[in-house]
Structure 1
């Protein structure tokens, strides 16, 4: 298994998603520090017997024949228990109802050992990972011709040479990502390649471009699919946004059910689209062959611009939107069955081959039939009408196109959570994106993608055409950085045939950079400025998150222990460390806030006295009379613990109490101060509003103080019997 370092922590495996990625193993230096600290712990004292069996073994008659401790836990080996589904059930009725609804929607939970079974086989991976890429042929050719037609009908003859250049670009980028998959078999694509071969900031830049691309893929694809439906059924137009949000919810639910289930759900529409478009292409070519491939003259279109290099470059960049999603396989390598990288390369080859065939065939047929973009009908619809003037085939093509456009967003649902996982593992985004849900899906990443796409879609009222120009900028930014990174990779490792491989990547990088620069310049005022601004903002946010996690890591990391001779006499850092880490050096003071004498107060007082540590009771009173009354009651009780009363003439209770505790800590910073708060625990959630819940407010007020522990001594109303009437 390969290992890697990020320069900030221990080595970690890089081959697959791991449920324990948030807690990587300690480095050798940390283990040595831990060993030294352990040597200073109090030794020689007898181990006290526990008052309860921690393995929860049954006792009493027949215990020797019992299978396990109870229905919630199963013994696996000495000192280790495994939970059962019964241990995961909430106690409340509302919680159990929520779990039942979740199980109906998502299915039963999957164990961590099911991860390999949940991976995709190639026939499922192809439609899941290619839905975005292959569906782009529905709008890529039209995006290209929409720019060319600005120069009039005569300029449409340039469509085939430009399409040929795009095919070269597709093959070059596809070949580059085939090499990426082999060189980086643990996934993460452009982000990991750029980070490893260029630097962390380059990797974050590539990741930012992909994040924007994936969010836009969901919002634009769903909006385009709904637009196809409302075009056929105009009565549904006012419901475009609610329908779009419903589709996003369905995509989220399907992906939360797990990779394998989502694959089975979403594979059929992509295959239907391939059959429909592939069949239309074959029939169209046969019809063109029957007439000797004669070109039908295009209808006259007046020119609004002259043919120029800039116009051709704009058309090339617009047609390059047919390649969005080509990086999907490199991001999702761990999601495939073993051997992961080999199967990923096979899927990628299929994807690029199908893309080249469909794109080339459609561009050729559009040229032969003299079709031009119209405001009220897509080029794909015109071609389907021309190819299938009678019968149900036109409706099948349109239905398959609308369905695959809706599901093209599923590629983003597979890739963005994985990208966020790898970024979270490097501490650039919140650690919560490392968590696997109970169906072995990266649930937090899926939810974040859905929320971001829903916000964008709602903000634009379901009309996201203005967001389409942003696609090429974000995705080709990632393409360029990835391939430049691969060139550096080959130069650094110099494996057999590295010059040829570096040449392929350099060629792909050159073409990708041309598209990137052209799209950024020509589409800047049309919306590309959003990416130009958003990418550096995302990079800065990620760096800020990383700095925070670095501070946390430094604050909680194991430090070198002082020598034993330094513990009693040395001051400064060694002394503080001894007080922090060694139990024999910790000094305690237990504080009990007292409001009145009742069972909760007496239980808390009995608890702190049983610990055998110095204890103090504090009472904050709004007037002298109440303070005097409590002192009299305290004397009647026996004055077993020192009582300190604080009179607050302005009737503030919480703030003076917090200030008093802070002053105690300030006067003696070497003590560990534990505040034990008597608490009444209500039977029902609605009853909580009837109590002050001072423990939560005090915990919030004292959270900033080091060396202060806030705990509570509860008394449950369900345990208290009401007196007989």
Structure 2
């Protein structure tokens, strides 16, 4: 499997020609394919998984029960097939393991790939899931604006309304811009995709860096703001905000690992409750203001520490613009919508922009009329609720809804951060472990990385929102800027219907986003923006080095003419006496080409082999079968096949494919090579590769318990230890999984790069 590092590609003309020549050279020095099939002591056809259309969902159309190979327990029961790459043989066989039961209790039963359609979101669920970040920022965006303007005293606070109007205009411009992005990229058009397609690889990576920095800070800021809302109502919890916040991140981790639909159902109610709470608060506040003829309540006297200049106003604008974070989430998650995905995504984005403008403008208007000044012990939203409701149930409802939506707004990041990592891994800019879907059709590895990074940031800044805000605007508006400029280039190149209108929308969004980014980078540099800029630079360095490493590995694995050499002797598989009866396979007469019948037809002989397991004392008693798992025909796998054939024992190549299309690509390459050795192809309906591989080897062992099965793995050996995380090494995982079975040997054939 080359360490699981290489995905099966279609061969180009040069590689096809070289593979054909390699097969011809094999034909000169090796026995014909029929000879290798005749000596095969097992039947390689041990059954198959059902076709996707035959998979019948169980409870409520969610959990799919699929039988394993050779009639074993169902994967949904045993937990072996639902993407559980590290599943042990015991788990594969016994559904009652404590760890497995705990995993299923917390995360639920595994889902098949065919369940991905049923896991897509309708608009009413997508709105709270993907808009929670943007809408919840209403709770801290206006306050972030005030915290800057208050430095200029009363004149600064009076400037809050015109600055807020500029932010509203920016919301509308960027929102309309992303509607054009969804139209141009109906399969999902986040900043990384748009910038890469239209501006190049490096701008795309910079956009991805900005996005990922933003998503990590989204979790940290949402949790810290949520804790601020809680402590405004319950001040006694203030000393415990760090441990409580970390616990909340852990709950978010578990909730998102359960999959898309569970997360949507979990987060829909708090988001809608927050929308209702703010609308009620705005309506009540405006009603009270109307009772005094909309005369603003005077601000308390505030001493100015800075003059109200252009720099301060721009700094306030950049801080208040943090209320726009999360606007891109919908365009980045178009595939998560139910069909027609792009149309539903545009509709949901329009709803989100309208709600965001109404809530933001409403809160700023109330702050103006109520004369609210930021306080360290109580948030501005809590002060507004106190002014409108006192401390009754409506106040409690407002604070509870605000706290919940802020704590759960991080779900937007949990939906998009793993997707960006997936795209980076697909393009060889991130480790390929981020390509895997987990049991619940979620990118589990990306979700875990996000949780750990956000928890570390939250702890480092002691859960203080004011300290995190300066880092926030840099990443998100860097991504906005590159995405919108990418769309400008897209429309200029394409020039289809209405391209001028779309270009103007995106150009306006690009200019405004660039202005906010530059302003935030300059005015907030010493306050923490330098850290976000440093993180972007470090990300760019790491991803380019990862891409360089994968390119070097691909080049090393390519077939080349120098490897085509004619060995000095012919390779012919040996035929060993059968363990059950003592007869040689040759004495049973000729065997037609193709899969051999299992040699354990005699039940007495089979029972004898079971009793005599692992009792061989001399070399001639050992009967071999070499199984070579391979993912593609490249130099590492050809070396492993050559090594297995050189032992002159029966050989069976094994390819586990995630889909029939990929399996057919491999079969075409195998036939081009000349079909020199017996081949078994297993198409798994799950994401897992390792677990179906284990199940297949166990099926062979059940056929012939007397055989010593040697699993020969091609393994990429890298020069530096830090490159190991870029490759999935199967040898150790297979040894641990197959250890309960007797007479299974796992060995690797190293390929150094």
Same fold, judged at TM 0.5 (above): yes
Aligned residue in 2 for 1:162: 163
| C-alpha distance in structure 1 between counterparts of 2:569 and 2:119, whole Å | 46
Distance 1:268 1:719, change over 3 A: closer
Aligned residue in 2 for 1:293: 294
More displaced 10-residue stretch of structure 1: 228-237 or 242-251: 228-237
Aligned residue in 2 for 1:679: none
Aligned residue in 2 for 1:265: 266
Displacement, 1:365?
1.5
| C-alpha distance in structure 1 between counterparts of 2:395 and 2:137, whole Å | 19
| C-alpha distance in structure 2 between counterparts of 1:214 and 1:455, whole Å | 14
- 1:20-56 deviation digits (Å, cap 9, x = unpaired): 9973541443455544544544275534333222233
| C-alpha distance in structure 1 between counterparts of 2:418 and 2:742, whole Å | 46
Aligned residue in 2 for 1:305: 306
**Where does structure 2 lack aligned partners over 5 or more consecutive residues?**
49-65, 82-86, 575-612, 627-638, 650-709, 720-730, 744-753
CA contact (8 A) 2:139 2:381 kept: yes
Aligned residue in 1 for 2:484: 483
Distance 1:386 1:71, change over 3 A: closer
**Where does structure 1 lack aligned partners over 5 or more consecutive residues?**
1-19, 59-69, 76-80, 560-572, 589-598, 613-664, 677-694, 705-709, 721-725
Aligned residue in 2 for 1:104: 105
Aligned residue in 2 for 1:621: none
| C-alpha distance in structure 2 between counterparts of 1:583 and 1:380, whole Å | 84
| C-alpha distance in structure 2 between counterparts of 1:475 and 1:602, whole Å | 66
Aligned residue in 2 for 1:577: 564
| C-alpha distance in structure 2 between counterparts of 1:489 and 1:586, whole Å | 60
Displacement, 1:245?
1.9
Residue in structure 2 matching 1:46, options 34, 52, 65: 34
More displaced 10-residue stretch of structure 1: 256-265 or 461-470: 461-470
Residue in structure 2 matching 1:55, options 45, 57, 65: 45
Aligned residue in 2 for 1:544: 545
Aligned residue in 2 for 1:283: 284
Aligned residue in 1 for 2:10: 26
Aligned residue in 1 for 2:185: 184
Distance 1:585 1:486, change over 3 A: farther
Displacement, 1:296?
1.9
- 1:295-343 deviation digits (Å, cap 9, x = unpaired): 2222221211111111111111111011011111111111111111111
Aligned residue in 2 for 1:374: 375
Displacement, 1:546?
0.5
Aligned residue in 1 for 2:127: 126
Aligned-partner SS, 1:46: helix
Distance 1:497 1:445, change over 3 A: same
TM-score (norm 2): 0.70
Aligned residue in 2 for 1:318: 319
CA contact (8 A) 1:73 1:82 kept: no
Displacement, 1:577?
2.6
CA contact (8 A) 1:74 1:83 kept: no
- 1:250-281 deviation digits (Å, cap 9, x = unpaired): 11111111101110011100000000001111
CA contact (8 A) 1:72 1:84 kept: no
Structural mapping, 1:128-147, within 5 Å = 128-147=129-148
| C-alpha distance in structure 1 between counterparts of 2:251 and 2:643, whole Å | 56
CA contact (8 A) 1:587 1:670 kept: no
Distance 1:587 1:456, change over 3 A: farther
| C-alpha distance in structure 1 between counterparts of 2:222 and 2:739, whole Å | 53
Distance 1:135 1:34, change over 3 A: same
CA contact (8 A) 2:461 2:468 kept: no
Aligned-partner SS, 1:301: coil
Aligned residue in 2 for 1:636: none
| C-alpha distance in structure 2 between counterparts of 1:290 and 1:161, whole Å | 24
Q: What RMSD over aligned residues (CA atoms) do the two structures have, in Å?
A: 3.9
CA contact (8 A) 2:156 2:308 kept: yes
Structural mapping, 1:324-723, within 5 Å = 324-389=325-390, 391-463=392-464, 465-559=466-560, 573-574=561-562, 576-578=563-565, 605-606=619-620
More displaced 10-residue stretch of structure 1: 498-507 or 603-612: 603-612
Aligned residue in 2 for 1:644: none
CA contact (8 A) 1:74 1:82 kept: no
Tell me, yes or no, if structure 1 residue 72 matches structure 2 residue 49.
no
Distance 1:719 1:280, change over 3 A: closer
Distance 1:585 1:558, change over 3 A: farther
Distance 1:355 1:607, change over 3 A: farther
Displacement, 1:673?
8.8
| C-alpha distance in structure 1 between counterparts of 2:290 and 2:392, whole Å | 22
Aligned residue in 2 for 1:659: none
Displacement, 1:475?
0.4
Distance 1:400 1:354, change over 3 A: same
Displacement, 1:611?
9.4
TM-score (norm 1): 0.73
